[in-house]
Amino acid sequence: AKIVLDAAVAAGAPKDIIGYVEEPTLPISNALMRHPAVNLILATGGPAMVKSAYSSGKPAIGVGAGNTPVVVDETADIKRCVSSILMSK
């Protein structure tokens, strides 16, 4: 996440555009997922993390380790999204 944040800031994004936890634990992740300001959870990791996301009481998209959840909205260039998602693997 730090690499992506540094690249985003270098490209002109605000310095706090991306937040991350340097040493994540399941209790910290659970606290974040249950925070009132969170309205969608994109979870990746082992079965415990994905189960925790689905048990949070919030809408969640969970995938196994090494995979990335993706949200594509109505403004997206679908062909470019498909290409980018496939190339990211």
C-alpha–C-alpha distance, residues 59 and 66, integer Å: 21
Q: Note the pLDDT of residue 8.
A: 95
**For the segment 15-61, what is each residue's pLDDT rounded down to a tens digit?**
999 988 898 888 998 999 999 999 999 888 888 889 999 999 999 99
Confidence category of residue 63, pLDDT binned at 50, 70, 90: confident
- Write b or e for each residue in 17-33: b if 16 or more Cβ atoms lie within 10 A of its Cβ, otherwise e: eeeeeeeeeeeebeeeb
